[in-house]
Chains A and B, each alone.
Chain A
Amino acid sequence: MTVTIKYFGLVAEAANKFEEVMELNGELTARELKEHCLNGLSITDKDSVQIAVNQNLDDQITLKDGDEVALLPPFAGG
């Protein structure tokens, strides 16, 4: 199955992209996909990155074909 991943803030910067389409094999929760995506990126505080699936904040959900997953770090600037 295929999911679209949207990156924001310093996650986008570390991944060097705002969006990617990923082919997944087997069942995966949103949280597992996040760990997979952030693995190897230079982000010291991965716990603070939140996950939205199809524009709903949720990390427990099991992903299905066509889902859009957003990885949202908190921003502090003003």
Chain B
Amino acid sequence: MSRYDRQIKLTEVGQKGQEEFRNAKVLIVGVGGLGCPAAMYLVGAGVGKIGLMDHDRVDVSNLHRQVLFKESDVGRPKALVAKERLEKQNSEVQFEVYEKPLTVENAENTVKQYDIVLDGTDNFETKYLINDACLLADKPWVFASIYKNEGQLSVFNYKDGPTYRCVFPKSTRQNISCETTGVLGVLPGILGTLQAAEVIKIILGAGELLSGKLKLINMMLSSEQTIKLNKRPEEIEKIRKGGIAPVDIDCDLKDKEQWYLDVREAFEQPKPKGKKVLSIPLGDLTSRYREIPDNQEVFVFCQSGKRSKNAIEILKNEFGFHNLKNVEGGIETIIDG
């Protein structure tokens, strides 16, 4: 009995559909709450090649929703752990692991190597990046996003259909992730699984896709709604002509007179503006510590407060800084507005 017998029995699949699964190449950007369940079902279906892209490592606070990871994986790279788990599920699938973020530099070339992109990211800048890269490479992508108990889902850039910029032409700095707002594990589970379903329908060329439609789900209220979308040709033309338009999300910090040290990587957002904000990624501190003022109090921050704590330890123990204060809750707690 074949591994795929139960799906081949469906008229929408058959031997031909199974062959299409085997020939399909899907890139999953962000192997988290959405990416984990999506990957499991696509691997189960026998998608031939799956790219797993995530620069992050497994944190214990991920385990309630990122269902590929176990306690013993904490601290290990998500993309690699996911591959190790998924190849045990289906050894016929070929995996490509990218332990790095999608960037303006690598986006178009990476996307080109796949048929479909599944968006498992948790930030606006990467969603716009996926959108622009898919537009330029002429690939469809399956979008999902979450806010607390609500989710949004759509298929963008499918056969010349509407893109993300046609719905949300303007980015926002209200970049609120599950880390700050909270989320029940089951919601990204539902959304990620629906994303996998859209990918499967694209591969099979079967059914009705969410192209030109935005599905809204409220898990708590058990309600859903589908909004019809229109193309904004000027938004599409802008990217076709000008290439990827990176989205920088600026923000102001509450205290303009206070010195701040941002120890996040260059790609991390939002980016605080101001004369007294110094940006030195954690890994560069030992070569650039001289830039940090040592005669007045400096608030050190990162995304969550963890790396900034490490940074203070290093700067205190190795270079004698005594004027540093950790921003415990990360950048979201010091943004103005």
| Chain A contacts to B: CB under 8 angstroms | 6, 8-10, 12-13, 18, 43-45, 47-48, 50, 52, 55-58, 70, 72-78
14 extra interface residue pairs, beta carbon distance < 8 Å, beyond A13-B148, A75-B152, A77-B177? A10-B147, A18-B221, A44-B337, A50-B167, A55-B227, A55-B228, A57-B214, A57-B229, A72-B214, A73-B172, A74-B124, A75-B147, A77-B188, A78-B35
A57 to B78, CA, bound (A): 37
The residues of B that contact A12 with a CB separation of less than 8 Å are: 150
Q: Nearest Cβ distance between residue B50 and chain A, in whole angstroms?
A: 17
Q: Is the CB of A78 within 8 A of B178?
A: yes
Evaluate whether A55 and B226 lie within 8 angstroms (CB atoms) in the complex, with A73-B172, A76-B123 already known: yes
B199-218 Cβ-contact flags toward A at 8 Å (1 or 0):
00000000000000010101
A74 to B177, CA, bound (A): 12
Q: Is the CB of B175 within 8 A of A76?
A: yes
Q: Is the CB of A10 within 8 A of B227?
A: no
> Which chain B residue shows the least CB distance to A46?
B172
Evaluate whether A78 and B216 lie within 8 angstroms (CB atoms) in the complex, with A57-B229, A57-B230 already known: no
How many chain B residues touch the partner (CB < 8 A)? Answer: 45
Q: Is the CB of B178 within 8 A of A77?
A: yes
Q: Is the CB of B170 within 8 A of A9?
A: no
Evaluate whether A75 and B150 lie within 8 angstroms (CB atoms) in the complex, with A18-B218, A55-B226 already known: yes
Q: Nearest Cβ distance between residue A69 and chain B, in whole angstroms?
A: 11
> Which chain B residue shows the least CB distance to A53?
B227
The residues of A that contact B216 with a CB separation of less than 8 Å are: 8, 70, 72
A50 to B181, CA, bound (A): 21
The residues of A that contact B147 with a CB separation of less than 8 Å are: 8-10, 73, 75-77
The residues of A that contact B17 with a CB separation of less than 8 Å are: none
Pairs across A and B, CB under 8 Å, 8 listed: A9-B148, A10-B176, A52-B227, A74-B152, A74-B172, A76-B175, A78-B32, A78-B178
B111-148 Cβ-contact flags toward A at 8 Å (1 or 0):
00000000111111001000000000000000011111
Q: Is the CB of B172 within 8 A of A75?
A: no
The winner among A6, A58, A75, A77 for most chain B CB atoms within 10 A is: A77
Q: Is B30 an interface residue (CB 8 A)?
A: yes
> Which chain A residue shows the least CB distance to B181?
A77
Q: Is the CB of A70 within 8 A of B225?
A: yes
Q: Is the CB of A44 within 8 A of B228?
A: no
Evaluate whether A8 and B150 lie within 8 angstroms (CB atoms) in the complex, with A47-B170, A78-B121 already known: yes
Q: Nearest Cβ distance between residue B40 and chain A, in whole angstroms?
A: 16
A22 to B312, CA, bound (A): 53
Q: Is the CB of A56 within 8 A of B228?
A: yes
Q: Is the CB of A9 within 8 A of B227?
A: no
The residues of B that contact A52 with a CB separation of less than 8 Å are: 227-228
The residues of B that contact A77 with a CB separation of less than 8 Å are: 33, 122, 145-147, 176-178, 181, 183, 188
The residues of B that contact A10 with a CB separation of less than 8 Å are: 147, 174, 176
Q: Nearest Cβ distance between residue A14 and chain B, in whole angstroms?
A: 11
Q: Is B323 an interface residue (CB 8 A)?
A: no
Q: Nearest Cβ distance between residue A67 and chain B, in whole angstroms?
A: 14
The residues of B that contact A50 with a CB separation of less than 8 Å are: 167-168
Q: Is B45 an interface residue (CB 8 A)?
A: no
Q: Is B171 an interface residue (CB 8 A)?
A: yes
> Which chain B residue shows the least CB distance to A9?
B147
The winner among A18, A43, A48, A78 for most chain B CB atoms within 10 A is: A78
A43 to B174, CA, bound (A): 9
Q: Is B277 an interface residue (CB 8 A)?
A: no
A74 to B146, CA, bound (A): 9
Q: Nearest Cβ distance between residue B166 and chain A, in whole angstroms?
A: 8
Q: Is the CB of A57 within 8 A of B145?
A: no
Q: Is the CB of B228 within 8 A of A76?
A: no
Q: Is the CB of B177 within 8 A of A72?
A: no
A74 to B32, CA, bound (A): 19
